[in-house]
Structure 1
Amino acid sequence: MLHINELTLNIPETRKPRVVIIGGGFGGANLAKKLPGKEFQVVMFDRQNYHGFWPLLYQVATAGLEPDAIAEPLRKMFDEDYEDFHFRQVKVTGINPATKTVSTLVGELAYDFVIIATGTKSNYFGNEQIKKYSFPLKQIPDALNLRSQLLQSFEQANMIKDPVVRQSLLNIVIVGGGPTGVELAGSLAEMRKHVLPGDYPGMDFSQMNIYLVEGLDRVLPPMSPESSATTKKYLEEVGIILKLNTLVESYDGQVVTFKGGEQIRSQTLIWAAGVSGAQIAGLPPEVSDRGRYLVNTFNQVIGFPDVFAIGDIAYMKTEKYPRGHPGVAQPAIQQGKHLAKNLQRIMRKEPLVPFEYFDKGSLAIIGRNRAVADLPKNMHLKGFIAWMAWLFVHIYYLIGFRSKLIVLANWVYKFFTYENGTRLIIRPFIRKDDKAGQEFVRRQADLD
């Protein structure tokens, strides 16, 4: 195996302005697509070699979709048609605005413009115990870990004699009542009703409890009160146990403890309660606020005209959005496309145009025929119409025809059969401190 010091970035020299994009998510990918190779050399760094459609990540976690249905290789997205585009799968360790260089694990690269599009990471609010034992849902490996954990819990519950331990395997706690938590809860409720009884005919899945915990007084806080109230009604209809105005104090992998002292025995706590910006070393702390980079209306990091931030990592305060833009895909997509035009304006020495966000609306799905939508001009949809809108929008924004076809086929099949994909435990998830689980997996392997 090669050592890191034997690797190099191997980026060709150029006389064109070099744009370095850190992150291949919605913002970075849309920016790169709009930058003409005849005018710029574009270099993209990312720790993974694919672009993921994260709004559907929860369906991977609940075995509704396979990972390759929501991910597209970055090299396939930027093939030979994109002149002078260079992708490197490598972790960026820092930015040096003084020398105008980006540092990675395998070397440095000079830039003319650098764009930070790193998105967010899970925010555990300093609680290391919850970080250690809970399941985040930010990347495909997280979804696969959670899928294995859920399926393993059902398998073990089917074999366990102790009713207390069995119940802890069937208690699933989701922390965070935003879109991720709501959609995940709805998907698990559909599994409980339509899928799991057929897989485990000897088990009583009426004992499976799905808790949705939210610190505020309503679910879907970013959406309208009308959509929030409708979502609460839908969740209760499908049997989700809502715990509003409730905060989690601790979790040790076995017991969830809430502030106030209430406890629930559960071996699966899913953390969807908050995010913080995935920042990079090198910029001073005064350009950050709440884990995001402060930017002006041109997406320039304050005080650094050649350093830009777009998407969830950017904190653009405006009169309409005093707390920044919502942490969804659309601001990142629109900022990426807009910044591409502004970079071309810089090269032509033309005035920059401020970014203005066009809110196309927000959607959330709670299950079959149950969804809510907040649309422009204060329009609110619910039920079947909102559900169809959700399906259309998510198919439309998937990257690549193959992904669109696979997801559509899965959803059509599921609609008529209630089947929830292939429930395979490809790689068992065992916590490092779970000696019993490790021994069980070892003994299973010894039987081969």
Structure 2
Amino acid sequence: MNIPQSDLPRVIVIGGGFGGVSLSRKLTKQNFQVVLIDRHNYHNFQPLMYQVATSGLEPDSIAFPLRGLVEDRNNFIFRLATVDSVLPEEKILKTSVGDVSFDYLVIATGTKTNFFGSKNIEESSMPMKTVPQALNIRSYMLQNLEKATLTNDVREQKKLMRIVISGAGPTGVELAGAFSEFKKGILKKDYPDLNPDHMEIHLLDGADRVLVSMSEKASQKAEKYLKNLGVDLHLNVLVKNYDNETVLTNTDFKVEALTFIWSAGVIGNPIKGMREECLDQRSQRFFVDRRNRVEGYDHVFAIGDIALMRTAEYPQGHPQVAQPAIQQGELLVKNFKRMMESKPLKEFTYWDKGSMATIGRNKAVADIKSFTLGGFLAWITWLGVHLFFLVGVRNRLVVFLNWVYNYFNFDRAARVIIRPYQKK
């Protein structure tokens, strides 16, 4: 890999997610050469991907070019590549564009979709971890609606229009709410020859409530909002198989649907070459100490979703959401500076700013410390928080204007099939 020589210590950051971006932007202000590596040339604001999938936003409004993170900094380098493996003792990273040496390595590779060993579900369902996958969902939904107008067979129409989502966490809940609002605001207008009742939204989960990572009060409010929107909830139901047409579960419930979205879980996305004992086999996350050092290494760190930091308050590790990644990245910058000054490193303490999920227009839930907000106030809070953390002034402006337009016109302007999707 062609990297300019420098007298500064070289820090390689793998992954341009929340943790990698937080770390890279601030570390370039210190005396380090920062090399950011990612298989995409953009940072993807994942909390708003469901709006791309449901025609609310265009993908470029939630993506920010990684080369634009830092201006006028000669010590920041981005390389578009995939990582093959690492030789930690030799301090060599092996990538698709060549080998590169490092003084320090920061693993911020995040998570990937967990299909729990089911090859059929992996090959036939539609995940939503990347922007291209969100676009696939959007295109496929719109393609199926167009196909539904070409047949008078009611069973075939329902199969084309029906949407089944497995996993009632924030992603599943937000998708279900957004699809229901599409049905309410767009379907009658764009497809007057289709029966709106044929567009069923089914949300399945193996737990006994939605949003199990949030409080029971938040779950109850979210469940009420979803039912009011017409979402069919199926709790204590696990998907066992999907054959491209029929969703089979562990109960008597089964349903025919061509659009089956999998949001039922994630698993760590580790790199090869690290010692086996530093990786938790169940979650595929690297064990790290309170300073985000991967256990057993002095010069390799992990932050965000890929890091498993066990504390008394979080014995299973921190929540796999944006805030721990951002905060760990910010603290690691300070600790790198302290290392150069031969000072002891500070330990990480997570500041939980709360959890939230939106279900639709004027409907959201938020857990903030011991308080649970619901309805319009939670929705406004959700809008403000997501606008604040969106990378790039231009992106914030575009998203805000889209939201205003959609709110007053009950419209989703991005309902276009730019790249048709074909199932395998």
TM class by smaller structure:
over 0.9
Q: Aligned-pair RMSD on alpha carbons?
A: 0.9
Q: Is the 8 A contact 1:38 1:83 kept in 2?
A: no
Tell me which residue corresponds to 2:217. 226
The structure 2 residue matched to 1:311, chosen from 304, 312, 326, is 304
Tell me which residue corresponds to 1:25. 17
Tell me which residue corresponds to 1:108. 99
Deviation digits for residues 67-102 of structure 1 (CA, Å, limit 9, x no counterpart): 01000101111232x231100000011111110111
Q: Is the 8 A contact 2:11 2:102 kept in 1?
A: yes
Tell me which residue corresponds to 1:98. 89
Deviation digits for residues 5-34 of structure 1 (CA, Å, limit 9, x no counterpart): xxxx21011221100000011000110111
Tell me, in whole angstroms, the C-alpha distance in 1 between the residues paired with 2:241 and 2:86: 36
Q: Is the 8 A contact 2:28 2:76 kept in 1?
A: no
Which SS does the other structure have where 2:351 is aligned? coil
The one-letter amino acid paired with 2:125 is S
Tell me which residue corresponds to 1:275. 266
Q: Does 1:354 align with 2:350?
A: no
The structure 2 residue matched to 1:428, chosen from 407, 420, 423, is 420
Q: Does 1:189 align with 2:196?
A: no
The structure 1 residue matched to 2:151, chosen from 125, 147, 160, is 160
Q: Does 1:299 align with 2:255?
A: no
Q: Does 1:387 align with 2:379?
A: yes
**Structure 1 stretches (4+) deviating beyond 3 angstroms?**
none
Tell me, in whole angstroms, the C-alpha distance in 1 between the residues paired with 2:392 and 2:28: 21
Tell me, in whole angstroms, the C-alpha distance in 2 between the residues paired with 1:102 and 1:176: 36
Q: Is the 8 A contact 2:292 2:302 kept in 1?
A: yes
- When normalised by structure 2's length, the TM-score is 0.98
Q: Give 1:261 deviation, angstroms.
A: 4.3
Deviation digits for residues 43-77 of structure 1 (CA, Å, limit 9, x no counterpart): 01000000111000000000100001000101111
The structure 2 residue matched to 1:57, chosen from 27, 49, 55, is 49
The one-letter amino acid paired with 1:164 is R
Q: Give 1:165 deviation, angstroms.
A: 1.5
5+ unaligned residues in a row in structure 2: which ranges? none
Tell me which residue corresponds to 2:314. 321
Which SS does the other structure have where 2:223 is aligned? helix
The one-letter amino acid paired with 1:408 is F
Tell me which residue corresponds to 2:137. 146
Q: Give 1:161 deviation, angstroms.
A: 2.6
Deviation digits for residues 289-310 of structure 1 (CA, Å, limit 9, x no counterpart): 1111110000000001111000
- Bigger CA drift: 183-192 or 12-21? 12-21
Which SS does the other structure have where 1:136 is aligned? coil
Q: Give 1:106 deviation, angstroms.
A: 1.6
Tell me, in whole angstroms, the C-alpha distance in 1 between the residues paired with 2:28 and 2:156: 59
Tell me, in whole angstroms, the C-alpha distance in 1 between the residues paired with 2:166 and 2:326: 28
Which SS does the other structure have where 2:364 is aligned? strand
Q: Is the 8 A contact 1:298 1:353 kept in 2?
A: yes
Q: Give 1:36 deviation, angstroms.
A: 3.8
The one-letter amino acid paired with 1:287 is C
Which SS does the other structure have where 1:126 is aligned? coil
5+ unaligned residues in a row in structure 1: which ranges? 1-8, 433-448
Deviation digits for residues 237-280 of structure 1 (CA, Å, limit 9, x no counterpart): 11100000100000011110111343210101100000001111
Tell me, in whole angstroms, the C-alpha distance in 1 between the residues paired with 2:220 and 2:414: 34
Q: Indicate the percent of aligned positions where both proteins have the same amino acid.
A: 49
Which SS does the other structure have where 1:317 is aligned? coil
The structure 2 residue matched to 1:71, chosen from 63, 83, 89, is 63
Q: Is the 8 A contact 1:395 1:408 kept in 2?
A: yes
Which SS does the other structure have where 1:56 is aligned? helix
The one-letter amino acid paired with 1:286 is E
Tell me, in whole angstroms, the C-alpha distance in 2 between the residues paired with 1:68 and 1:44: 21
Tell me which residue corresponds to 2:115. 124
- When normalised by structure 1's length, the TM-score is 0.93
Tell me, in whole angstroms, the C-alpha distance in 2 between the residues paired with 1:266 and 1:206: 14
Which SS does the other structure have where 1:135 is aligned? coil
Which SS does the other structure have where 1:423 is aligned? coil
Tell me which residue corresponds to 2:171. 180
Q: Give 1:37 deviation, angstroms.
A: 4.8
Tell me, in whole angstroms, the C-alpha distance in 2 between the residues paired with 1:400 and 1:198: 34
